[in-house]
Every structure is written in C-alpha cells, then in structure tokens.
Chains A and B, each alone.
Chain A
C-alpha cells in the first residue's frame, strides 16, 4: 500500500539509479539517521555506549569490510583479527608520533596502512582459492599477531607490551582516553560508520562492485568478459582491509583504550567477524549491520535475561551462550544461508504486495 514502486516517477538517470528506489525506504533511512544523530546522543549513558552501541558500530565497520571481500568478491578470509590489529597499531604509532594531528586523519591513515598490508596478503588469492586461500589468510592472522607481540617498536617499548590510547580531542571534545563522554565516543563511531557504509554501498553498486561480483560468481567467465582478476581481487582486499583497519583503529582508541594484541585481535576475532557476516548475510551492507548488532546484543541480552532476571549462576549463562550462538550459526547455515538480510528482503517483498497478496 505505502511500500511500492508504483506512482514514484523517476525523471532522471540519477533518480533512477538511487540507492533506495522506494519512497518509504528513503524516509525510513532518513528517520534512522535522525534517531541515530539527533536522539540517541542525548539519551546515551556510559553503559549503553561502552557495552552495546560503540562495539556494535565498530564491529559493523569490520563486518562491512569483510563482507566486501567475502560476500561481494568471494574470497574467504580468516585474517580479519590480524588486519584489525594492523589498524590498531598503526593508529597507536600515528597517535604517539604525531600528537598534534587530528585523530580523524589518523583513523583514515590507519585504514590506508591496513589497505596496503591487506593487498600484500591478498597476492596469494591470484593463485589459490577457497579453503586454500582461507589458510593463507590464516597465516596472515598468526603472523601479524606474532609480529606485534615480538617487535617492541610497535608498542613503543612499553614494559607490558600493551598499547594505551592517549587522550585526544576533536573540536575541543575528548574522544579517546578515560574522560571521554559517552556521546562523544558514540558520535565519532557513528560518523565513521555512516561514511563507510555509504562508500561501501556505492562501491558495490558501481563498476568495481560488479567486477567483484563477477569474480565471485565465476572467475573464468569474468576474465573472458574483460574483468582483470589481479585488479579486482587486489582492490577487494585493499578496500576490505581499509574498512577493517578503520574498525581496528576505533576499536583500540575509542572503545577499549588499551589493547593487548593476542587477546584482543586473536583468531577468535576473525571468527567473530566472519560469523557476523554469515549470520547477517553475505553480500549485503544491511546484513553487516544486522550481523554485528545480533552478535553484540545477543550475549548482553542473554546475560540480562539469565543472570539479572532469572538469577542463574553466571557460569551456566556463559556456557549457555556458547551453545546458543553455535546452534544459531548452524540454524542459519542450514535454513537461511543468506542470513538476516534475506529475512529483510523477504519482508520487503511481502510488504510490496500487502495487503493483497496473490
């Protein structure tokens, strides 16, 4: 009734190729942005920022990055944790070496450095595919974590091997360090998520995204129609690592403030982001949001229900959480391999016909 293409006349090519062709979707998009920018910053508290929204936003960027590589270009990667570590350590070195430069620039530079590293580790993808490539990226994961543990230069020779984010300001407001207000943390992450999501969405709709998808669907056919696999695969690795690097930089500087590479960026992180992409939906930007939100909220929600409402022992709830997440992953792989994003797509299809389905 209200959700339909009919009656929404496009009179220019720009209008015809816009991201949201349906008017309702456009309003909804602006409404979500309005709530995120104009409402949440005024009601957010420390708990909501540090335990839920900031990790959700940061993991969303990581999931978008991995989704570009795995979901759009079809290259399986288990190196996400390692690439996030590159972003975090690049951020740390930049923050301490150039304290006068705005950290907004540092975050983007950290993304750029990660893009270079990611492209280098993407080189094997020209020769190997599938599981073998996954193993090659796994090597990147272990190598990078080992490197940041081993070479003391990366952590400025501190006694503990930890990196700590010094206090930095954007426009006179602290965004890193212990005295950061909840809303400031939230806002800086939100700005990066918005920009990253818009860039990613438009990249995947354009020439570059179509090349990636051609490679994903059948690389030999793609090569025959003129897609350069070297360029397509490496650009996917670079763009994906750029986003993952940004998320690693924010993860370290804004969210945690102190990071230990083995603990924060271990193999579990790679799997966590991969699960987000799988549960959210491969090849969907919305799926990255859905997957990140789901896996950040689920443990918190289970804890609130199990421990605070039902009063169960904390260890039982923690174990139950593993069982439930494991079961959900199996459920999604079997029942809905396209993830939460597919539910959303189906809902939209149904909504188009509502209230008169045939």
Chain B
C-alpha cells in the first residue's frame, strides 16, 4: 500500500509542478456526469467557449491569453475540494463552482487563499454583503432576490394582494433548496399567503408523495427550487396530477429547455425566472461559431449554443472577462493576480452600451458592484415555455425584488457569519 502511495505521489508530482506562465488561468469546476449533468454541461460549454472565443478573436484580454483548466466535480463536494486544491496552485483568478454545496466549502478556503469566488445567482445569499464577504461575489442576483421577484410577480398577477392564497414551495432538500425559505416565510407573513414547504431529497427522481400532497391541498401556486433531474421529474409529475402549468413557477435554475422538453406538450405554460434574456441570434454566438466551433475547439458537442444555460454560462464568462479588463485598467498591468482580479470585480460596471458593444445586447440587467454591495441589482424576468414553438418566451421586463425584505435578512445572516468567524466587517 505504501508503495502504491509513493507511485501515486510521483504521478501527482507532475501535476503539482505545473508551469507558471503569465496567462489568465480560469479553472472551470464543471459537472458533465451524474444527476445534475443536464444543467452542468451547457453552462460549462458556454463558460469555456466564450473564453476560447476571446482567445481566438482578440488574443485574450489586454493581450493576455486565457487558460481554462476543466475539473469534473460531479456536483460532489469532496471532488470539488480536490478540484479546488489541484487548480489553485496554477494561479487561478476566479472560481465559479456552479454548486451551492461546493460554494459553502470554498467560501472560507478561497477567502484564506485570497482567490475571488463568483457564485452567480447561487451560493450563500448573504455574500451580497461585501464588507463581510470580501472575496465572494454573487452578482447580478441571489436566491432571496429570486424569491422576492416571484412574489412580486404573483402580487402583480393578483391585483396587489396575495391574502389567503396558498403557495407551495417544492425544494431540493439541501443548502441550495433551503435558501429561499426564510425570505418566503417573511413574505408570507407580510402578504398573508399560506406557505407549504415540500422537500425533495437528492437527486430528486422520487417526488410522488410531494405531488400527491399538492393534489390534496390544491395550492394556488407552486414555486420550485430544483436542479438537475429533479426539474424534469417535477414538471412531469405536475402534468400527471393536472396541475395548471401557468401557476407553476421555477427559479432560474429550474427553467432550461432540457427541464421541460421530456414532458412534451404537457409542459406547455410552465413558467420560470431567468436572469438573462434568451436570444439565440445574438452576434456573439456567431463569433463563437466562427472562432471556436468551426475551429473544432468547442467545449462540448456544440449543440447547446444559444439555450438558456449556455447563455448563462457565457454571461458568467463575460462578467469574468470584464472584471479582468477592469483589473488590468486599475492596476495598469496585463498579468493580473487573483487579488487584482478581486479589485476588478468590485469595480465592475455593466452598462447597456457595453453589452451592446460585446454583441450581447440586453442579455442581462445593468448593474454596478461596490465594496458594500457584491450582489448586483437582483432583477429577474419571468419566462414561459411554449411547447409547440419549443422556446422560452419572456413574459415580463426585469422585475425588481423587494430590498426592504431581503436587505435586513442579508445583514442578519452575514452578521451572524462575521460573529461566528471573528470577521471584522470592512472594505479591503
């Protein structure tokens, strides 16, 4: 056994002794296997393709090339830690783990190592308080924003009052799914609706009892915090019990094409949030096709281009690339470090004009990041699935969350975290 240890030590030694060239190292903690692969694959494709496109078209950012290191986590925290440890020594600038569980692992580690973490619309919501979480960013929106946006949308639908309505929350029984509960409880007290919580255990293939309960209790609306295979099953189960699809709203991780297509026509009318506008004809996709896919460098099989999670992955990459440019501008050097990257992220300013310039007009809301606010604008749209056209249709413009509800919760939770870990709140 010891011999085996030594042999593997020699093997991993080659890995530890990687070259330290001046380049922009972006690890991609992806998952293309396991029950969450359906969501992880298009996101990772979009994330990598955008960086490869910048390399091929512009020679990277500021004449500095990107180097992507992909590491498969399988949505598993232990593998995520292994991936983090094996890539951080390569000069990683930013981590985007696309998993709330792994995010909770990495928040203390990345803070201690001084590497920024971008948990776009997932992770620990209270990281929006940048004075406590100096190294963690969750712009442009977080879970509590999503919960509030959903309720605001329903208020709008119901003429401003949800009094006496019954709303059920179907959630993934994990840190991810539990995040919105506190906000929804507060909102339920404020607006007088009755909240039922239905937990679905990992991986989410078994939901019969939850939907039986929904059939029995007949809530007016069902909200869902789902991911991976859980979404497809939930949409199918909702169709099976004949629940009206237009009253079934998923969050932005439960609203991609692969979630609804398996249910066929029955999924018609299912709604979900989105933080991006979906437009398969954006000029940036043409650039990706020409410079990356036609050159044979596509991260996946190239079939996901333009769909919901591909767009979001690309959007995440764009925000990272913009932060790199900002960091280069602030520090006057092209070869930035992870600490400089953090400064770039904190000074990020995304405008409509800039998004237009990048060939992705209106892909997301305008927002700015500051030391106090790492959370962005929190805006979200509501989209609806049109099964016959096979496309998501945006129903609304960007809806604002109720900051009066989410902000005190963020302050409370981040304050508790600061007290637990002896962090003195303040800007760096």
B89 pairs with A178, CB closer than 8 A: no
B105 pairs with A258, CB closer than 8 A: yes
Scoring B residues 153 to 165 as 1 if CB is less than 8 Å from chain A, else 0, what string do you get? 0000000000000
Question: Is B5 at the interface (CB under 8 A from chain A)?
Answer: yes
Select from chain A the residue with minimum beta-carbon distance to B202.
A262
A47 pairs with B420, CB closer than 8 A: no
Select from chain B the residue with minimum beta-carbon distance to A314.
B72
Chain B nearest CB from A148 CB (Å) reads 11
Chain B nearest CB from A294 CB (Å) reads 7
Binds A, one of B79-87, B205-213, B249-257, B370-378: B79-87
A260 pairs with B14, CB closer than 8 A: no
Chain A nearest CB from B135 CB (Å) reads 11
Question: Is B179 at the interface (CB under 8 A from chain A)?
Answer: yes
Main secondary structure of the interface of B (DSSP, over half): helix
Question: Is A92 at the interface (CB under 8 A from chain B)?
Answer: no
Select from chain A the residue with minimum beta-carbon distance to B178.
A161
Q: Which residues of chain B are near A149, meaning CB under 8 Å?
A: 173, 199
Question: Is B21 at the interface (CB under 8 A from chain A)?
Answer: no
B4 pairs with A257, CB closer than 8 A: no
Interface size on A, residues (CB 8 A): 51
Question: Is A128 at the interface (CB under 8 A from chain B)?
Answer: no
B201 pairs with A262, CB closer than 8 A: yes
Q: Which residues of chain A are near B105, meaning CB under 8 Å?
A: 256-258
Binds B, one of A17-25, A77-85, A209-217, A298-306: A298-306
Binds B, one of A49-57, A198-206, A236-244: A49-57
Q: How many A-B residue pairs have CB under 8 A?
A: 132
Chain B nearest CB from A33 CB (Å) reads 12
Select from chain A the residue with minimum beta-carbon distance to B420.
A166
Q: Which residues of chain A are near B125, meaning CB under 8 Å?
A: 159
B1 pairs with A289, CB closer than 8 A: yes
**Cα A166 to Cα B421 with chains together (Å):** 7
B104 pairs with A340, CB closer than 8 A: no
- Among residues 115 to 135 in chain B, which have CB atoms less than 8 Å away from a CB atom of chain A? 124-125
B108 pairs with A51, CB closer than 8 A: no
A263 pairs with B101, CB closer than 8 A: yes
Select from chain A the residue with minimum beta-carbon distance to B11.
A304
- Among residues 115 to 159 in chain A, which have CB atoms less than 8 Å away from a CB atom of chain B? 149, 159
Q: Which residues of chain B are near A294, meaning CB under 8 Å?
A: 1, 4
Chain A nearest CB from B216 CB (Å) reads 21
Q: Which residues of chain B are near A286, meaning CB under 8 Å?
A: 1
B104 pairs with A315, CB closer than 8 A: no
Q: Which residues of chain A are near B9, meaning CB under 8 Å?
A: 48
Chain B nearest CB from A290 CB (Å) reads 5
Select from chain A the residue with minimum beta-carbon distance to B180.
A159
Question: Is A349 at the interface (CB under 8 A from chain B)?
Answer: no
Q: Which residues of chain A are near B100, meaning CB under 8 Å?
A: 160
Q: Which residues of chain A are near B109, meaning CB under 8 Å?
A: 178, 257
Q: Which of A263, A307, A308 contacts B77 (CB 8 A)?
A: A263
Question: Is B181 at the interface (CB under 8 A from chain A)?
Answer: yes
Q: Which residues of chain A are near B175, meaning CB under 8 Å?
A: 160-162, 260
A256 pairs with B81, CB closer than 8 A: yes
Question: Is A336 at the interface (CB under 8 A from chain B)?
Answer: no
A318 pairs with B33, CB closer than 8 A: yes
Q: Which of A51, A159, A263, A289 contacts B182 (CB 8 A)?
A: A159
B32 pairs with A260, CB closer than 8 A: no
**Cα A52 to Cα B15 with chains together (Å):** 14
A47 pairs with B5, CB closer than 8 A: no
12 more A-B residue pairs beyond the given contacts A51-B85, A258-B105, A260-B174, with a C-beta to C-beta distance below 8 A: A47-B86, A164-B104, A164-B108, A178-B112, A257-B108, A262-B201, A263-B202, A264-B77, A301-B12, A304-B8, A307-B70, A315-B32
Give the A-binding residues of B (Cβ under 8 A): 1-2, 4-5, 8-9, 11-12, 14-16, 30, 32-33, 37, 41, 70-72, 74, 76-79, 81-82, 85-86, 88-89, 100-101, 104-105, 108-109, 111-112, 124-125, 173-175, 178-179, 181-182, 199, 201-202, 413, 420-422
A-B interface, 9 closest residue pairs, ranked by CB to CB distance from nearest: A178-B108, A315-B32, A314-B72, A160-B175, A178-B112, A51-B82, A318-B33, A47-B85, A258-B104
